[in-house]
Amino acid sequence: MTGLALYDDYADHSALTHPGPYDTLINGLPSDIPVLCRTVQGLLIHEAWIERNGLVPAAFAGQSRSTLPVAQRLEQILAIDPRPLTTARPGNSRALSTCRDFSLMLCSVLRHHGVPARIRCGFGRYFAPHPFHDHWVCEYWDLGAQRWVLVDAQLDQLHRSLLKFDFEPVDVPRTAYITGIEAWKLCRAGVIDPAQLGHGSTTGLFFARVNLARDLLALAKIETSAWDTWREAREPHRALEDAALLLCDSMAQRGEESAIENAPLLGTPPW
């Protein structure tokens, strides 16, 4: 898929970004990116940032960190607080989420407004403890600038004050966020030490492979997949044989526009 057809396809919903019966509520949300990010931040709270927001985890008992389709997420948000989505909820009335939920919600609204958008899986350079930390963002096609623009809808004022990043979250530099495709290529070229990237105690080329697969699947509009069970992988299954390395090299080199073709090869993690 190339050219205009590719951009048009990303303006259509996937199964996860479709708002379902809440499409009229999505119609009422702004399309202005900074305002929309603040709106999303008023609905969701990241599970790793609960205490830094002055809240206690017990306030979110019964909620799961699992990524939900946007339609189910909206149902949950309104069950907690039925006010309009444009009304920012207090912290303990927001829905428990992860970075992927922020990105999915932003992507959903943009697609609903006809803006080509997609989520990306890769590594942020503005978190701790890893120099390259597992992270999901959204990107949209800026027609005027003729480029994909990265947006991190999770980064609110508290993130800015604690993380001390020096860029605008509505236009994240490509040096601050590395997609799964690019991270794999940079690791294999020796530019990035694979030990510097990961999630928690899971690091290395294994995790570069996980995010390469998840990035390609997200580009194919499959925003969750069997690769999200990477925590279940145990040694020796985390070791990569030559055939797996070469396959990943080939998929990474073919890049974004081959994501649809690559998706069948990524259906089930080979562990």
Tokens 């055939």 sit at which residue?
243
Predicted confidence at residue 129, as pLDDT, reads: 83
Rounded Cα–Cα distance for residues 118 and 50 (Å): 27
DSSP summary character for residue 257: G
The answer for residues whose C-beta is within 8 angstroms of residue 266's C-beta and 6 or more apart is 213, 216, 217, 225, 227
Predicted confidence at residue 130, as pLDDT, reads: 87
> What average pLDDT does the segment 74-98 reach?
97
Rounded Cα–Cα distance for residues 154 and 38 (Å): 9
> What average pLDDT does the segment 81-105 reach?
97
Query: Is the confidence at residue 3, as pLDDT, over 60?
Result: no
Percentage of residues of the chain with pLDDT beyond 90: 83
Q: Kindly report the average pLDDT of the chain as a whole number.
A: 93
Predicted confidence at residue 6, as pLDDT, reads: 62
Q: How confident is the model at residue 57 (pLDDT cuts 50, 70, 90)?
A: very high
| Beta bridge partners of residue 170, listed in sequence order | none
Do you know the residue count of the chain? 271
pLDDT tens digit sequence for 142-153: 999 999 999 999
Tell whether omega for the bond before 270 is within 30 degrees of 0, i.e. cis. no
Distances (CA, A) of 101 to 120, 164, 172, 249: 12, 23, 18, 29
Assigned token pair, 196: 């510097």
Rounded Cα–Cα distance for residues 8 and 32 (Å): 20
SS3 state of residue 201: coil
> Structural domain boundaries of the chain?
3-266
Assigned token pair, 83: 């006010």
DSSP summary character for residue 206: H
Predicted confidence at residue 239, as pLDDT, reads: 85
DSSP summary character for residue 154: T
Residue 158 near residue 53 (C-beta atoms within 8 A)? yes
Predicted confidence at residue 263, as pLDDT, reads: 85
Nearest Cα to 111, choosing from 259, 7, 219, 246?
Answer: 7
> What average pLDDT does the segment 267-271 reach?
77
Q: How confident is the model at residue 209 (pLDDT cuts 50, 70, 90)?
A: very high
Query: Is the confidence at residue 1, as pLDDT, over 80?
Result: no
β-bridge pairing 147-151 and 132-142: antiparallel
Residue 180 near residue 121 (C-beta atoms within 8 A)? yes
pLDDT tens digit sequence for 132-189: 999 999 999 999 999 999 999 999 999 999 999 999 999 999 999 999 999 999 999 9
Strand ranges (E), the chain: 44-46, 95-97, 117-124, 132-142, 147-151, 177-179, 197-199, 202-203
Residue 180 near residue 212 (C-beta atoms within 8 A)? yes
Assigned token pair, 84: 């309009």
Rounded Cα–Cα distance for residues 210 and 54 (Å): 33
Specify the range with the lowest mean pLDDT, choosing from 1-5, 89-93, 119-123: 1-5
Nearest Cα to 127, choosing from 150, 156, 157, 159?
Answer: 159
pLDDT tens digit sequence for 218-250: 999 999 999 999 988 887 778 888 998 999 999
pLDDT tens digit sequence for 8-37: 799 999 999 999 999 999 998 988 999 999
- CA 262 distance to own-chain centroid: 19
